[in-house]
Amino acid sequence: MRNLFRCGLVLLLLATFLPYSSVYSFEFLNWDDLSYVTDRPEVRGGLTGYGIRWAFVTFQNANLHPLTWLSYMTEVELFGLRSSAMHLTNLGIHLANTLLVALLMRRWSSSTLLPLGVALFFGIHPQHVEVVAWVSERKELLAVFFGLFAMLWWDSYRATGRHRDWWLAHLSFLLSLLSKQMLVTLPMLLVVLEVCPLRDSETELRLEQIPKSLWRVRWFLLLSVAFTIGIFAAQRTGGAVLAVEHLPLMYRIANAIQSLAYYLAQTFVPFNLIPFYRHPFLDISIPETFFCGAILLAFAGFVWSRRKQPGVLAGALWFLGTLVPVIGLVQLGSAARADRYMYFPHLGLFMMLGRMLMNCQPVAARRF
């Protein structure tokens, strides 16, 4: 079975590479790539002492992601200002993320097909094109790359108790936050994954573990709080945070309901994918909001009906919980939602679907 899984990994990487094989020929876009790379003197200068210091203190583009800046500078230092090199780097990180997804899912399942299936959908889903084929979204790729490593090391620490794994998990999470703060809810996800066990031999929820789990992830939580404060300061400094008097909470909640429903629908039927979904602000459609709310209630009811399957519940909470920072309750800019925000949350949905399919199989067939 081990050799079968290794062969599957090779095919997985090939299947993920092929749809993106032409990215090396893509140019920079006049949408953020200018301010992130081509017109940014600190990046164009490559790796310099001044550039490295600047990366850690700047709120440029209303963001806080020094590691992403350093990755651009390193590429310019090595290859010059070439769009092909930066696009291929994005693709390389995406391939690495796809591999890490398969390895992480493999730790939780004796099946060969489940980890490969989840990773394949992650690798080729159309909603991830924006992240992979856009140089400016390097930050999302790096954040998930280090976040997946944090989850792998943390799972290893929980299994072995090795202090090395504890330190590596926290270092990986720190590097993820230094790339982008998309995974600030990762500590709570780690708690969910302890309460909703994913290994095949474990089928009972462990609600009594919540206090202990929260204590175990306390240093993750401190990092999350610190970086949440930092990114909020960056967004406010850049004028990206919309005040409540300009967009009342009721409208924010309505847009969040619509966005969640569209994220769900476009996962299964990737229709009308566009680079920018403009926020309706005060013109939001009430009938559409109620319709989307009905979709979410149906989804919640479906998950509740599978509550005795911890993997299904964990997947749903993964999807919903990791979208919290970008769902629009704190409105940043004029976008209602964005495909790039689904890059990490999608894993929860794919894992949920995979677990459901596995539960439908005869026990003897689940190892394949």
User: Contact, 312 vs 306, CB < 8 A?
Assistant: yes
pLDDT top residue among 208 and 243: 208
pLDDT grade, residue 1 (50/70/90)? low
Mean pLDDT of the chain: 90
- pTM comes to 0.93
What does the pLDDT average to over 289-303? 95
pLDDT top residue among 152 and 58: 152
What does the pLDDT average to over 339-358? 92
Model pLDDT, residue 144: 98
Q: Are strands 335-337 and 277-278 parallel, antiparallel or unpaired?
A: antiparallel
For the chain, give every domain's residue range.
2-365
Helix (H, G, I), strand (E, B) or coil at 241: strand
Predicted confidence (pLDDT) per residue in 48-69, tens digit: 999 999 999 888 877 889 999 9
pLDDT exceeding 90 applies to what percent of the chain?
Answer: 70
- Partners of residue 223 on adjacent β-strands: none
| Across 212-216, 217-221, 229-233, 270-274, least confident range | 229-233
Model pLDDT, residue 293: 96
Report whether pLDDT(312) > 80: yes
Q: Please report, as a single letter, which amino acid is at residue 322.
A: T
Helix (H, G, I), strand (E, B) or coil at 82: coil
**DSSP per residue over 166-179, as a string?**
HHHHHHHHHHHHHH
User: Contact, 80 vs 44, CB < 8 A?
Assistant: no
The pair of structure tokens assigned to 102 is 């398969």
What does the pLDDT average to over 93-102? 98
pLDDT grade, residue 237 (50/70/90)? confident
Model pLDDT, residue 365: 45
What does the pLDDT average to over 245-249? 79
Positive or negative: CA dihedral 108, 112, 113, 115: positive
Report whether pLDDT(306) > 90: no
| Across 101-105, 136-140, 359-363, least confident range | 359-363
Residue 10, burial from CB neighbour count under 10 angstroms (0-12, 13-18, 19+): exposed
| Across 137-141, 158-162, 230-234, least confident range | 230-234
User: Contact, 63 vs 231, CB < 8 A?
Assistant: yes
pLDDT grade, residue 300 (50/70/90)? very high
Residue with tokens 């094109």: 129
Positive or negative: CA dihedral 295, 192, 186, 98: negative
pLDDT exceeding 70 applies to what percent of the chain?
Answer: 93
**Using CA atoms, how far apart are residues 300 and 286, in angstroms rounded to an integer?**
21
Alpha-carbon 260 to chain mean position: 15
Q: Please report, as a single letter, which amino acid is at residue 16.
A: T
What does the pLDDT average to over 98-108? 95
In 3D, which of 305, 310, 340, 347 has the Cα closest to residue 325?
340
Report whether pLDDT(232) > 90: no
Model pLDDT, residue 200: 60
Instruction: Work out the angle at residue 63's Cα, subtended by the Cα atoms of residues 58 and 77, and round it to the nearest 5 degrees.
Output: 60
In 3D, which of 74, 45, 43 has the Cα closest to residue 60?
43
- Partners of residue 337 on adjacent β-strands: 277
Model pLDDT, residue 363: 47
**Using CA atoms, how far apart are residues 74 and 228, in angstroms rounded to an integer?**
27
What does the pLDDT average to over 261-290? 92
